[in-house]
Structure 1
Amino acid sequence: MGQASPVPVGETPALSTGRRWFFPSALLHELDPDAARAGRRPRRTARDWAVDFSCFLLAVVVGVTAVEALADNPHVPDGLAVADQVTGALACAAVWLRRRWPLGLAVALTPLGIFSDTSGGAGLIALFTLAVHRPFRYVAWVGGVNVALVPLFYWVRPEADVPYPVAVLFAGLLTVAAVGWGMFVRAKRQLMVSLQDRARRAETEARLRAEQAQRLAREAIAREMHDVLAHRLTLLSVHAGALEFRPDAPPAETARAAGVIRESAHEALQDLREIIGVLRAGEPDDTGRPQPTLAALDTLVAESREAGMKVSLDHRVEDPAAVPSSVGRTAYRIAQEGLTNARKHAPGTDVTVTVTGTPGTGLTVRVHNPPPEGEVPPVPGSGQGLIGLTERATLAGGRLEHGPTPQGGFEVRAWLPWG
């Protein structure tokens, strides 16, 4: 009977293993994308066997009823009645092939319906199956031919006790009802397939959105790691270098440098633990850890001065607390990265940090340093921080420019919206 390999339905979220017997094999085949792509024929489920047996039994019952009507019909000779019964038996047996060849079976039973009363039930079942499994264009042609042949059938084989118009009308209505029921079943299956496909797409989109959110969170963590750790480790490197190249430094200066190294290393390790903890959890940092704002710029400059930098701060914003937190945090990170770069690439120079702005005009942050004296060894990984700063400023709705000045120094200048 043309059974094929089992159809895997493990990827169909709405159909559990215990409920698959209840659904048609054709529907399970359409809901399983792997089987559809592979072109495998669906295996009949327990429901399919029950439905096929019911259709066969219905065709047999209709055929037996027609045999009794043939015996009472004087217009049908005995030889034709025997041929009618043999044809009807073959048509009933062919009902088992309706799933494999729905169009061929319906076309084959259409002309038999003109000469065989006992194949009428099988013909209606074939029309129903055709309407379920094939597009409307096939159903319209075959169903239309069947309806058109109904008057011819009752003209060739008139009923003994039923008027001709009544018999034609009743048979025509039965044919239309079988086709309409089959189209309804097909539409219902297509609706279920559409809903299942929509559910799969929604799950896929939700998973992609979650992955994208996680990726964006990790990128934000990476930027935060660079901004924080680069500043701490630069302080550590500067003071460690001073201790290395000045072993004869006064004890007070040595103790101060060692204190800065110890404090910077401790803070860097603490930041690193928090960031690694967030990465292990796979979630954004929502623990409420305070983020720097524009009001913390004085502390940043003081920390840089304690590390031995020459920094002058020109803070012209009257009320730093009025600056939006996201804008203030971005301005702080820009100043922090500018000071870190100046410490690495222009050690010993006078660095100027200028912050100006008012609501409506925006916030401007400028970090400038003159050219360093003497040769400065290249620092690995240079330029990555400026790329991150440009991205930060763009995400905040502003812009950032950086590059050498005509006098040979370097300047980072950013504008952020405020208003």
Structure 2
Amino acid sequence: MRRLRFRRDWLVDLGLFVFVVGFSLVLADGAVSGHERSPAQVAFDDITWLLSCPAVFLRRRWPVQLALALLVTGAFAHFVTAATMVALFTVAVHRPPRVTTWVGGLALAPLPVVIARQVAEPEVLSATRSLVYFVLIAASIGWGLFVRSRRQLVLSLREQAERAAAEARRQAREDIAREMHDVLAHRLSLLSVHAGALEFNPGAPPEEVRRAAGVIRDSAHQALEDLREVIQVLRAPDDAGRPQPVLADLELLAAESRTAGMRVDLRQRVADPGTAPPVAGRTAYRIVQEGLTNARKHAPDAPVTVTVSGGPGDGLTVEVRNPALGGSPTAVVPGAGQGLIGLSERASLAGGRLQHGLAREDFHLTAWLPWPG
């Protein structure tokens, strides 16, 4: 990248050098016509022209010094106009507006005198040429300011795009983290509970052991499948093809928990769960899933009541309630402590709200989600 920029800068400088030479040669006759020049003046013009052309290669390092030197030289020489235009353009592009204002003011300072002379003696050709000179100088500064503002705009848009991309990556990471927590915590808590039951009750009847082993196998298999789906989402550029839970899937979630030994009372009071908005339905599913997981970890023997109600225009209300203590956990199920935080973020992103806490001896988890009418 650095070599490419160096090569591009040299090509630009070479193009400006060709412009200065060509501009001076094309307008040489017009610049000196009507002037009586001594041999010394001719020699001075030639020398300043020969020096001003390669001087454009110094414009990036010393733009202000070069512009001032050419402005002073231009008061006595005829062929440095093009080099002066390039130097002033560079000042306007690469230096702060305050510096450009001072240099531009110095360059245009003689303009009132030239205008007064043109008004007093309109037939004088030199005054007209001077006006053209100042027009070229002003155009060079204006073009430089335009290029500078355009570069700043592009840089600002690029920075905004980079910040937006960084924010999108951060949001994607948070979404994936919530998804992995919600999905895997539920499966692994089932596996942990049944494995703990086998550990603390090794003399259980063979049928009960077989059933617990089957639940462990199914939970582990499903956890691996869920993890594989999440990894596929990470690898794929989009989320196409991955099924997302909806409100109607709460029946399956409750049945799965009952199979694991939980006492779940699902009160589905939505007339047609299939018509619920996808975002609200998916968020409600994750809230119930996390509520069941927490109940399984902290009160495995306690009954859990899940109530879902609402409809179009009223919103969707989800409540998960269970006793704060319900027996002794058969196994210590570790947690990251991020489940309820993640649920609050999910509800907020969906346009709803979530509350949780103790009410008497029960732990309740309540959420409201929008359902447009």
TM-score range, shorter chain: 0.7 to 0.9
Distance in 2 between the 1:143 and 1:106 partners? Answer: 13
Q: Percent identity?
A: 45
What one-letter code is carried by the residue in structure 2 that aligns with 1:349?
A: A
1:200 deviates by 4.0
Output one character per residue of 1:316-342: Cα deviation in whole Å (capped at 9) or x when no partner: 222111221211111111111111100
1:141 counterpart (109, 112, 119): 109
- Of 368-377 and 123-132, the range deviating more from structure 2: 123-132
Equivalent pairs counted in the alignment come to: 352
What one-letter code is carried by the residue in structure 2 that aligns with 1:215?
A: R
Unaligned runs of 5+ in 1: 1-6, 24-44, 71-80, 113-118, 153-163
SS in structure 1 at match of 2:364: strand
Query: Does residue 277 of structure 2 align to residue 312 of structure 1?
Result: no
Q: 1:383 and 1:108, CA in 2 relative to 1: closer, same or farther beyond 3 A?
A: same
Distance in 2 between the 1:285 and 1:129 partners? Answer: 53
What one-letter code is carried by the residue in structure 1 that aligns with 2:351?
A: G
Contact 2:306 2:321 in 1 (8 A): yes
Larger Rg: 1
Matches within 5 A, 1:165-176: 166=123, 168=124, 170-176=125-131
Distance in 1 between the 2:305 and 2:363 partners? Answer: 11
Distance in 2 between the 1:253 and 1:126 partners? Answer: 95
Q: 1:302 and 1:236, CA in 2 relative to 1: closer, same or farther beyond 3 A?
A: same
Distance in 1 between the 2:262 and 2:360 partners? Answer: 23
Q: 1:83 and 1:249, CA in 2 relative to 1: closer, same or farther beyond 3 A?
A: closer
SS in structure 2 at match of 1:229: helix
1:286 counterpart (234, 240, 250): 240
Distance in 2 between the 1:66 and 1:8 partners? Answer: 50
Query: Does residue 150 of structure 2 align to residue 195 of structure 1?
Result: yes
Distance in 1 between the 2:3 and 2:134 partners? Answer: 30
1:299 deviates by 1.0
Distance in 2 between the 1:337 and 1:250 partners? Answer: 31
Query: Does residue 68 of structure 2 align to residue 103 of structure 1?
Result: yes
Q: 1:220 and 1:284, CA in 2 relative to 1: closer, same or farther beyond 3 A?
A: farther
Q: 1:139 and 1:244, CA in 2 relative to 1: closer, same or farther beyond 3 A?
A: same
State the match for 1:47 in structure 2.
15
Contact 1:294 1:331 in 2 (8 A): yes
1:346 deviates by 0.4
What one-letter code is carried by the residue in structure 1 that aligns with 2:216?
A: I
What one-letter code is carried by the residue in structure 1 that aligns with 2:68?
A: L
- Of 137-146 and 218-227, the range deviating more from structure 2: 137-146
State the match for 1:367 in structure 2.
320
- Superposed CA RMSD: 3.4
Matches within 5 A, 1:16-35: 17=7, 23=12
Contact 2:316 2:370 in 1 (8 A): yes
SS in structure 2 at match of 1:391: helix
Matches within 5 A, 1:29-178: 45-54=13-22, 69=36, 81=38, 84=41, 88=45, 91-92=48-49, 95-96=52-53, 100-107=65-72, 109-110=74-75, 112=76, 119=77, 121-122=78-79, 128=85, 132=89, 133=91, 135=101, 136-145=104-113, 166=123, 168=124, 170-178=125-133
Distance in 2 between the 1:246 and 1:267 partners? Answer: 25
State the match for 2:353 in structure 1.
399
What one-letter code is carried by the residue in structure 2 that aligns with 1:396?
A: A
- Of 211-220 and 347-356, the range deviating more from structure 2: 211-220
Superposition TM-score, scaled by structure 1 size: 0.73
Unaligned runs of 5+ in 2: 60-64, 92-99
What one-letter code is carried by the residue in structure 2 that aligns with 1:319?
A: D
Superposition TM-score, scaled by structure 2 size: 0.81
SS in structure 1 at match of 2:286: helix
Output one character per residue of 1:198-244: Cα deviation in whole Å (capped at 9) or x when no partner: 34443443343333323322321211111111111011011111111
1:48 deviates by 3.4
Q: 1:48 and 1:130, CA in 2 relative to 1: closer, same or farther beyond 3 A?
A: closer
Distance in 2 between the 1:150 and 1:94 partners? Answer: 31
State the match for 2:337 in structure 1.
383
1:390 deviates by 1.0
What one-letter code is carried by the residue in structure 2 that aligns with 1:139?
A: A
1:82 deviates by 5.7
More contact order relative to length (CA 8 Å, sep ≥ 6): 2
Output one character per residue of 1:131-190: Cα deviation in whole Å (capped at 9) or x when no partner: 6455442232034445667899xxxxxxxxxxx863x2x111101112212322333343
- Of 256-265 and 351-360, the range deviating more from structure 2: 351-360
Output one character per residue of 1:331-370: Cα deviation in whole Å (capped at 9) or x when no partner: 1111111111000000111111111223222222111112
Distance in 2 between the 1:416 and 1:11 partners? Answer: 53
Query: Does residue 276 of structure 2 align to residue 323 of structure 1?
Result: yes
State the match for 1:249 in structure 2.
204
1:251 deviates by 1.0
Q: 1:131 and 1:253, CA in 2 relative to 1: closer, same or farther beyond 3 A?
A: closer
- Of 135-144 and 175-184, the range deviating more from structure 2: 135-144
